[in-house]
Structure 1
Amino acid sequence: MQRLIGRTALGLGLLLTFLGACREKQPAYPPLLPEVQALIAQAEAAFAQQQFSRAVALADSAEALQPEHPDILFFKGRVYTHMRLLDEADSLYWLVARRVPDYAGVWHNLANNAARRGQFREAIALFRRELALRPNALSWRGIGRAYAELGRPDSARLALETALRYDSTYAEAWLDLAELNENEGRYDEALRAARRAWELAPKSLVARYRLGNLLLLTGQPAQARPLLESVVQEAPWHQAAHYSLGRVLQQLGETEAARRMLERAEALRALQAKVEQAELLVANTPRDPYAYATLGSLLRRLGQYREALYAYQVAHFLAPDHLEFQNNMAVLHLLLGEEDRAIALLEAAVQRDTTFVDGWINLGILYARQGRREAARRAWEQALRLAPERPEPRRYLAGLTTIAPDTLR
């Protein structure tokens, strides 16, 4: 089996952001021009695919037509927030807030970024500014989580319960309440909250893990087992689920299976510790593309391919000329079953730099996977011309003449 070549560098936030303005009264600024609306729609689509450079470029084009429009500034703030570039995001949000103080979501998103920085008291004050304009469950949940971080569980509980009064179907708030009660040893209350969250969001990994772990803590290992097994199967990187399932198996008398599960949990714990260090590096140096590449490399090793792709996409935004980031993005798209997107990335990379050897090699592999023999041959011949000392192109070209294309995988 041929493997794509990927080189690695040295090795989300508290809450959802508001997505955009949603007002009942007439806004105090002109609507977006039709051509600007079209550009922002394209930018939203690019953002949804985490194509950050394209999203920002489209938003910049929109802003050239309607300078400093609050909707455009707010959208760009969301993109920068998602990339954890909080200073850039906040500067945009503050522009919106100064021009339109009642813009929906702007105080919430500023609060959320303050919480990401660990500025929880400031976050609470900003969440309250949002609530003064429009009471909502999302901001009350933010206050609850901030109070929990400040070690004020009673205030946290009150805020979370208020969030649930606004929206009793808010599964994430039920999960926060379950975690708060669990941390205080109030397992029965935690179990009720976790069960409600799971009923509302049965596909949620967090809900399944939280409920399974609480069933374990309350002496119900048989009921915990299927929930934790489903998490481990779907998220083989989930260290806590492996550990809890190991304990479940111990209690059920399956000693050997428990031992294997706990050994796996310990191996994951060591790797997870490295991920946490990389997360801290990203937080401390948010404009360093290699910090994101390090995080992406570690997440890939854990099998968290979607999260690893996000990290490399931010790295590529920060250093668009670094083609190895683009190459690693292509590898991750392939691992996620998105072969056409992998090919598009590599084709763009070799067009940008026709001497990019790894790009040509990997492009040939992907062409061969699709049965495009001549395209694969041309890619590998180009790689061989550029790097005659590399063994891969010569080996793959030899295989292309003797092995059916469908075996080149």
Structure 2
Amino acid sequence: MARLASVFFFFLLCFQVFAQKTSRDSYAVPSVAPVIPAAQTKSVDGIAHFINRHYKTPQEKVQAIYQWLAANVVYDVQALSLGPQYYERQALITQTLATRKALCQGYAEVFHALCAQTGIPSYLITGFVVPRSTSTPRSHAWCAAQLDGQWYLFDPTWGAGQLENGTFVSRINQRYYMVPPARMVQTHLPFDPLWQFLPQPLTYEEFLSSKATSPRPKRTFVFLDSLAAYAAASPKAQLAGTIRRMEAHKMIPAVALEQLNDLRKNQAVIQHNETVDLFNQAVTSFNHGIDQLNQFTRYKNQRFYPVKPETELRKMTTSCTAQFQEAKRLLQLVKSRNNTQLLLPLENLNSQVENALMQAKSQEMFVTRYLKTPLKQRPALFYKQALAEKE
């Protein structure tokens, strides 16, 4: 039976975000960005090696990452007109370092990757912002990093400069460096409330209406426990948790709904792949069982010659049965509704497994009867078994 396959593609949104204009006074005195040899800036490994060698503390390292990105990567204004793009994460990082241009996803991916290579706990966050020039929420990406046990937010995109009359002006902005969660949530709202790092996260509605409090007291969200649970969970469980928390909002704006629908699609792809994998595992077990059953049949046709020990002879049939039972167990786990193309193959394989199980059990019974029969009477059993199988 041909193996069924499924491919899961990463879908990374190309966030079209215009940095908020801020007054010149809001810019801190620019810090000096590290000067890294060009040969080392072609890869995350090269940049991280330089930073690890020249900076000692996590604070120094994360500052070097932020400043290098802000000083060396420019906002890709032309890419704004292209709309959402499909990217594989590593390909986007490679492209950002090669072209020194990026939208927010590229900035955030490189920042997150460099944190990982320099030993700084971090997360890449997706959410939305409301630029001053419009009331329409726009998707955006930024990062969180843990320093001295505390979580801070970093937006290397907005830290690199701003758009002025459709032109990107490079200017390192320290305002979006190491921002406390309570301040960052005033301008950046994650799709998943977990990444607000707050005991009482804002709802989508509160953020968009600029109301930081609700008429009724909110339940305290123990986000540190949730972060620990998230970190320990499988990617599938992490995705399910994100979807659950997003769906809990009473009002979901279009920008968040689009993201939620994409996550649901990813979840469906995972379920589809799991279904295909289970089916293929069942096929493998079935085929192993058939191979073993065929080996036993050939040996039986030779009237169990050359002679094998009793334990080995019994194992030849019990191993077949075990393989078919495993195939049956796996097929019971297959949810064909996740892949309607499996409906007919599933029905056919179930039938084949049941038939094979009956054959294996029959051969087990024959071996048991054979071993209980006196030596001189054993040859007649083969003749009787052959007649019984013809009938």
**TM-score for the superposition, normalised by structure 2:** 0.32
| Higher percent of residues as strand | 2
Larger radius of gyration: 2
Greater RCO structure (CA 8 Å; 6+ sep): 2
